[in-house]
Amino acid sequence: MREFRAVLLPFPALLTGCDYQTYQSTFSDAAAEVHSFNVLFVIFLVICAAMYVLVIAFLLIAIVRRGRAGEANVVEDRRHHGENPLMRAGLMGWGAVVGAGLIGLAIASFFGDRSMAEAAANEKLSVTITGNQWWWDITYNAADPSKTLRTANELHLPVGVPVHIYLRSNDVIHSFWVPSLAGKQDLIPGRANDITLVPRKIGVFRGQCAEFCGVQHAHMGLIVDVDSYADFLKWWHHQLESAPVPTTPLARAGYDFVTTRQCGSCHAIGGTPANGTVGPDLTHLASRRSIAAGQLPMNEGNLYGWVADPQSIKPGSNMPTVGLEPDQLHAVVAYLETLK
């Protein structure tokens, strides 16, 4: 594999730096699926490049061979309907080469596909991701309902554990795509799709909806955090807890606003009266890396901006601009920041 990466890496490295290469890029091997993608891609690239070189060499030799014909446009008499026997043989040979190359590639593709499908065989962790315009609703399935965990826009996975992701959609067609981990799979209303992946590296990766799904398609991002198994369990148990009770007066004012006013109509916060199911779950909002489906990094300034006027940040999204008074805004942000 290393040598494959050595072939691939210079291309983007020539273009820019290289720290992003494992973040949202197919040039990574952070999961088994992407590894076989890379192997297969290199095989295809090499064969296709060889074909290209052949064609271009043929073209260049053909056009320089006779030199410039000048303006003497004489048709060579009576000869031009005869076909060059060398070329006849060449045509047969070329057809055979192309055919053989394609058969080889088709077989490689078939086995690549098989190996990916086999990796899906034994699931250890089951997650349902539901697409919404324009965010991801994530549910960790468990036999015990009290252990079922609902979160949004940030997927945590334990390294080395095969995870089976069930893909559903609430509205239009979306496509689940985390380039560093796996190929894409569509979320189609009325159809049950799924994808399996085995993360191999600890790290943070970014994915994005890959099927046009409306006006904010560009801002339907997904953060995937691959942890060690122990860290994952720690995260998991923490996420199962209810939201902490606010302690400062400002946060308490925010709590009152969020649970009794517009926010609670759409959003749920575990352990509080806010139980809307229309928008992302906010129980541990402040522990996530981003807000607005991967659009903004999570920090106080961005929270202010987002809560105050989401329509200027993500025009057309379903989060309305509520029109908070300044003191309400301070209170709401203060409360949201306690939702670690």
Q: Which has the closest alpha carbon to 153: 283, 254, 299?
A: 283
User: Which region, judged by CB under 8 A, interacts with another protein, from 60-68, 149-157, 237-245, 280-288?
Assistant: 60-68
Residue 1's contacts (CB-CB under 8 Å, 6 or more residues apart) are 29, 35, 38, 39
| Coil, strand or helix at 273 | coil
Given the structure tokens 């997927």, which residue do they identify?
155
Q: Which is nearer to another protein, 50 or 245 (CB)?
A: 50
The whole-angstrom separation of Cα 181 and Cα 30 is 6
Instruction: Give the nearer residue to another protein in terms of CB position, either 34 or 284.
Output: 34
- Interface with another protein (CB under 8 A), residue from 157, 317, 333, 335: 317
Among the listed residues 6, 10, 76, 143, the single contact to another protein using CB under 8 A: 76
Q: How far apart are CA 203 and CA 23, in angstroms?
A: 9
Rounded Cα distance between 262 and 276, Å, is: 10
Give least dist CB 36 to another protein, A: 6
**Which residues of 181-280 form beta strands (DSSP E)?**
185-187, 193-197, 203-208, 221-227
Count of positions on this chain that bind another protein (CB under 8 A) = 118
Of 66, 121, 143, 144, the residue at the interface with another protein (CB under 8 A) is 66
Single out the residue of 169, 183, 149 nearest to residue 38, CA to CA.
183
Between CA 203 and CA 225 the distance in angstroms is 6
Residue 268 beta carbon to another protein: minimum distance, rounded to whole angstroms? 13
**Contacts of another protein in 36-55 (CB under 8 A):** 36-37, 40-41, 44-45, 48-49, 51-52, 55
8 A C-beta contact, residue 169 and residue 188: yes
Least distance in angstroms from the C-beta of 177 to another protein: 7
| Closer to another protein by Cβ: residue 52 or 229 | 52
| 3, 10, 65, 121: which one binds another protein (CB under 8 A) | 65
Within 125-164, the residues that bind another protein by CB under 8 A are 133
Q: Which uninterrupted H or E stretch holds 319? A: none
The residue among 147 and 289 lying less far from another protein, judged by its C-beta, is 289
Q: Among 242, 248, 275, 321, which residue interacts with another protein (rule: CB under 8 A)?
A: 321
Q: Binding to another protein by residue 1, rule CB under 8 A?
A: no
By CB under 8 A, name the one of 9, 46, 91, 245 that touches another protein: 91
Candidates 147-155, 222-230, 298-306, 322-330; binding stretch for another protein (CB under 8 A): 322-330
- Does 183 bind another protein (CB under 8 A)? Our answer is yes
In the complex, least distance from residue 236 CB atom to another protein, rounded to whole angstroms: 27
Q: How far apart are CA 125 and CA 122, in angstroms?
A: 9
Site for another protein contains 230 (CB under 8 A)? no
**Binder to another protein among 1, 9, 46, 218 (CB under 8 A)?**
218
Kindly identify the residues of this chain, within the stretch 235-294, that bind another protein according to CB under 8 A. Answer: 260-262, 264-266, 278
Q: Where are the beta strands (DSSP E) in the chain?
A: 125-132, 135-140, 149-152, 154-158, 163-169, 174-176, 185-187, 193-197, 203-208, 221-227, 290-291, 296-297
- Stretch binding another protein (CB under 8 A), from 156-164, 212-220, 223-231, 238-246: 212-220
Q: How far apart are CA 204 and CA 59, in angstroms?
A: 47
- ω into residue 134 within 30 of 0, thus cis? yes
Name which of 185 and 283 has its Cβ closer to another protein: 185
Candidate list 2, 6, 69, 247; residue touching another protein; CB under 8 A: 69
Q: Are strands 125-132 and 135-140 parallel, antiparallel or unpaired?
A: antiparallel
